[in-house]
Structure 1
Amino acid sequence: MALIVDKQQIFLGRFISAPGPNDLLIREGAVLVSSTNGHGRIEKTSWTVRSSDEALRLFNVGNVSVIHSPMNGFFFPGFIDTHIHAPQYPNAGIFGKSTLLDWLTTYTFPLEASIGDEGPAAESAVVANGMPAEATNGQPNKKRKVEPLSRAKTVYDKVISRTLSYGTTTASYFATISVPATNVLADLAHTKGQRAYIGRVCMDHPETCPDFYRDETPEQTIGSAIESIEHIQNLDPKGNLLAPIVTPRFAPSCQAESLARLGQLAQDRNLRVQTHISENTGEVELVKTLFPDRRSYADVYDHAGLLTDRTILAHAIHLSDNEISTIVERKSKVSHCPASNSALGSGFCPVRKLLDAGIDVSLGTDVSGGYSVSMLESVRQACLVSRQLGYVNGGEKKWNIGVTEGLWLATVGGAKCVGMEGRLGGFEEGMFWDVQEIKLDDIDSAEQGVGCRGPVDIFGWENWEERVDKWVWNGDDRNVKRVWVGGRLVHERR
């Protein structure tokens, strides 16, 4: 769809946000959004206005569009997914009985290699009429090569559209080792208007990476990373909407020299970093074997200069107290991926312990270790996993994450982790207008043949805290009516 940009817009109605872990803020009023070069920010707010005419007079603006929230709906800050693998989207929900390391070998590396421009896996991929060539209508067909960048365009277009439809306005994406395919992801995110941090995946360890899917040398790793970084920065020189992020897949996939050079690259160019840490106990033991001179998994990254205040560490389930202290000292961030952790049997991340230690924590879907691109699902799973963690710790309720705290992690927590604190995640003046419009169904309108198209039924006696609870536990993309990023309409449900 075409991106629509107005110089000024007024948004009128109910605004709900979670500015603190125990603070669900529900307000009615009006917000004036002003856009300059497509970057829409909140210019003024009023929490007393109740009508369009009143808003126009108060903000002293001319004939600008006024957008009303639904009677049984609200505006909510866009979700920030701080850990998602864009090329893995076709495998969402496909993981069998595997755990992390065998899942990578069986499902992930072959798929990622096919979404690129080189390598045997990409060269051997075949389709006919959208199905495997040998299976169309049960009849054999002549095999033909997939044009790899065509596959990249298809997958990346779909994952961006799908995440936007679920209200994800910002995503920190892992791509593949292919520079051209990574650049396709950047091009599409920029065109479609999603705020995105995009990293060309770096992996070159000959003992742990398949021959068909790895860089040959540290020189190739660094050279390809730079090539993709410069492409992304050329698209958005200021980095407000689109920015590169240095992306070593995880310590076992990289040679020590490559990790160190990537750390230096991030420092020299003042770039964000994203990687995995302590997701799986087998992975932790593998790191000990591969890096015997380092004290811990976190020490591997710290020694390489990769633990910075602009680093996002995904999972962080099995950290020692010393590792937590190191991460606190370096001010690195954690992306909690509860659905993936449960799906792959990786364990329970002790989120409360990390927060109490002073670590900024956010939420990620980790598609396709996670089965859904929905950040609402990540909020739900964060709540559920926290209760299981409390149970195995003697029933202590201190571990519990409630709905409000889950929403805070998905918005304000995400903003902190991507370095956008104070600019994303709320409705304060000066913030970017990265917002989703939520609509719930009430049974009265459904009885009249209107609505009843979504999964959340409102009977009318619920207060607004209860309606938010019902949205979190039952909602999906059908409740997301419209989505804006920087004031630009990037998704509308028809």
Structure 2
Amino acid sequence: MSPPQHQQQPPAPTTTVFVGTLIHSTGLATLEIIAPGVLGVDSNGRISFVEKLRHSGESEGDDGVEDERLLRELLTRVGAEGVEIRRLPSHSFLIPGLIDTHVHAPQYAYTGTGYTLPLLDWLTTYTFPSERKFSSLMHAQTIYPKAVARSLRCGTTTAAWYGTLHLPATKVLAETCKSLGQRAFVGKVCMDRNGGEGYVEPSASDSLETTKEFINAVQSLNADTVQPILTPRFAVSCSSELMKGLAQLASQHALRIQTHCSENPAECSFIRDLFPDSRDYVSVYHDHGLLTNRTVLAHCVHLSDAETTLLSETQAGISHCPVSNFALSSGVCNVRRLLDANIKVGLGTDVAGGWSMSVVEAMRSALVASKVVGFTQRDALLALSKIPKSVVEDEGPVLYHDQPHRPLTVPEVFYLATLGGARVLNIAETVGNFIPGKEFDAVIVDLDAPETTTSEIDEARRPVTVFEHDTVTTMFEKWVFLGDDRNVAGVWVKGRRVV
């Protein structure tokens, strides 16, 4: 007889144990370093336990014998004897998998080109002609495995992918994510206007029908790590009929939604012309039923206070894409303002608007962008201080903040890249940090990679150099600012090693 539904099943046995430095976020500014730590993974790919091997003040000893004794005692206590033990090298650490909340798979082929153009010109010159090529299934089968493999190689365990408007090609993207083992939200792009010559769907009804087919196709893959996500490209390229139809699909199937918003001033101006009855850009999505707590809006650089309030009220998430914002001269997003408004924020690479598939690159660019916001506010205040008070009063209220800007910190951008991204995609109960019961999505970062000889010239191939004075904290900070895919020594998704 089957057990009652409320009766919990016995926990799955632990099969693998990682021993070494563990680093994860438990909150926006809370970086937890467990060194040395012990993490168990069960046969279902879930984290079974996380323990600290030694307490503060306890030394390892010269030969590590005491640590081995403590490890054996710990494994006996948690019932994990006879398991595979993976010991991390001294200059390495285990982190949760990185989460890319906004990336365009078909654009991977021309990453790193065209950054002299602003957004709308860049789309018509590079993006739409490139995406038209995915009418060829062979082209999709060539490009998509390279894009997903590159993303995984950079340590991205979860990605929110944009495909194209082509149904067969976007099926290939979903199948590729499944076969390569990446956790993914895959979207068939919906656009029935303003797509350039030859790159729009015939009608809103045609777009909705092919979207339904795509949803069924992804669900038939029977892969719980690959899910469909509704993808109206942005309001510029979608009619009201199409957006309302997608909102109905989202409600019927409890689906996530991804789109773009307030990326570029010219785009924002175009939106005002296209939707004169909506108060602002964010309201366009809200007025069409697309703004929910399962919505991911990329960029959101140019938001009014009213738009920020609406995003906070609806609990929609924002994908901050600083590399792309710099590359296409779109502007600099004030992420601190969004976080202070209790808005969910994650990081996106936005390839190929961004020049790198690495979320680490997005982390360091987010730090730079936040400093730029501070410089801008400081300079504005300095300029304002030189204006006579009578002139300021005549001009009305001051638009600049009188409180010092607080730039983002290293722990905060790491949160955005992991737990913050998980919250934006509504998977924080499943992944994002090393809380027991969550699925094991993780990356081993090895600062001694790539392996070298003892030659100083050969050692210079490493992106990060560790010195005797470095602590775990400084090694982690060096990785954020200097690290790249060469430091990725292993990637796991749901307990399965995929890199």
- TM more than 0.5: yes
Contact 1:443-1:452 within 8 A present in 2 as well: no
* Stretch deviating more after TM superposition (447-456 or 389-398): 447-456
Deviation, structure 1 residue 442: 9.1
| 231, 249, 253: which one aligns with 1:265 | 249
**Residue 170 of structure 2 aligns with which residue?**
182
Deviation, structure 1 residue 292: 1.3
Q: Distance in 2 between matches of 1:462 and 1:18?
A: 21
Change (3 A) 1:453 1:174: same
Q: Distance in 2 between matches of 1:267 and 1:220?
A: 19
| 330, 335, 343: which one aligns with 1:351 | 335
Amino acid at match of 2:477: D
Q: Distance in 2 between matches of 1:166 and 1:274?
A: 23
Amino acid at match of 1:455: P
Q: Distance in 2 between matches of 1:170 and 1:486?
A: 11
Deviation, structure 1 residue 84: 0.2
Contact 2:450-2:487 within 8 A present in 1 as well: no
Q: Distance in 1 between matches of 2:405 and 2:283?
A: 29
Q: Distance in 2 between matches of 1:340 and 1:406?
A: 16
**Residue 463 of structure 1 aligns with which residue?**
471
Q: Distance in 2 between matches of 1:181 and 1:210?
A: 20
* Number of equivalent positions: 448
Contact 1:287-1:297 within 8 A present in 2 as well: yes
Percent identity over the alignment?
42
Q: Distance in 2 between matches of 1:443 and 1:104?
A: 37
Q: Distance in 1 between matches of 2:110 and 2:450?
A: 36
Contact 2:102-2:298 within 8 A present in 1 as well: yes
Deviation, structure 1 residue 328: 1.1
| 186, 202, 210: which one aligns with 1:224 | 210
Amino acid at match of 1:43: S
**Residue 47 of structure 2 aligns with which residue?**
42
Contact 1:442-1:460 within 8 A present in 2 as well: no
**Residue 432 of structure 1 aligns with which residue?**
439
SS at match of 1:365: coil
Deviation, structure 1 residue 62: 4.5
- 5+ residue gaps in structure 2? 1-12, 55-66, 380-402
Alignment of 1:135-154 (within 5 A): 148-154=136-142
SS at match of 2:42: strand
TM-score normalised over the length of structure 1: 0.87
Q: Distance in 2 between matches of 1:268 and 1:234?
A: 18
Change (3 A) 1:379 1:443: closer
Q: Distance in 2 between matches of 1:96 and 1:443?
A: 31
Alignment of 1:240-255 (within 5 A): 240-255=224-239
**Residue 63 (structure 1) aligned with residue 82 (structure 2):** yes
Amino acid at match of 1:231: A
Which structure: larger Rg? 2
Contact 1:87-1:155 within 8 A present in 2 as well: yes
**Residue 412 of structure 1 aligns with which residue?**
419
**Residue 490 (structure 1) aligned with residue 495 (structure 2):** no
**Residue 134 of structure 2 aligns with which residue?**
115
Change (3 A) 1:217 1:442: closer
Amino acid at match of 2:218: I
Deviation, structure 1 residue 20: 2.3
TM-score normalised over the length of structure 2: 0.86
Amino acid at match of 2:53: T
| 87, 94, 97: which one aligns with 1:78 | 97
Change (3 A) 1:92 1:446: same
Deviation, structure 1 residue 48: 2.2
Change (3 A) 1:248 1:433: same
Q: Distance in 2 between matches of 1:268 and 1:224?
A: 16
Contact 2:14-2:48 within 8 A present in 1 as well: no
SS at match of 1:247: strand
SS at match of 1:210: coil
| 1:111-131 deviation per Cα after TM superposition (whole angstroms, max 9, x unaligned) | 111022xxxxxxxxxxxxxxx
**Residue 387 of structure 2 aligns with which residue?**
none
Change (3 A) 1:428 1:452: farther
Amino acid at match of 1:490: V
Amino acid at match of 2:434: F
**Residue 198 (structure 1) aligned with residue 186 (structure 2):** yes
**Residue 345 of structure 2 aligns with which residue?**
361
**Residue 9 (structure 1) aligned with residue 28 (structure 2):** no
- 5+ residue gaps in structure 1? 1-5, 117-147
Deviation, structure 1 residue 54: 4.0
Amino acid at match of 1:229: I
Q: Distance in 1 between matches of 2:461 and 2:91?
A: 14
Q: Distance in 1 between matches of 2:256 and 2:308?
A: 20
Deviation, structure 1 residue 236: 2.7
SS at match of 2:378: coil
| 1:161-198 deviation per Cα after TM superposition (whole angstroms, max 9, x unaligned) | 11111110000000000000000000010111100000
Contact 2:111-2:356 within 8 A present in 1 as well: yes
Q: Distance in 1 between matches of 2:375 and 2:116?
A: 25
**Residue 133 of structure 1 aligns with which residue?**
none
**Residue 139 of structure 1 aligns with which residue?**
none
| 1:286-324 deviation per Cα after TM superposition (whole angstroms, max 9, x unaligned) | 011111111111111001110000000000011111111
**Following superposition, which runs of at least 4 residues in structure 1 exceed 4 angstroms of deviation?**
442-446, 448-453
| 252, 276, 293: which one aligns with 1:309 | 293
**Residue 378 of structure 1 aligns with which residue?**
362
**TM-align CA RMSD:** 1.9
**Residue 279 of structure 2 aligns with which residue?**
295
Q: Distance in 2 between matches of 1:163 and 1:64?
A: 30
**Residue 196 of structure 2 aligns with which residue?**
210
Contact 2:450-2:462 within 8 A present in 1 as well: no
Q: Distance in 2 between matches of 1:63 and 1:110?
A: 56
Contact 1:167-1:477 within 8 A present in 2 as well: yes
| 1:65-107 deviation per Cα after TM superposition (whole angstroms, max 9, x unaligned) | 1111111101011100000001100111112410000000000
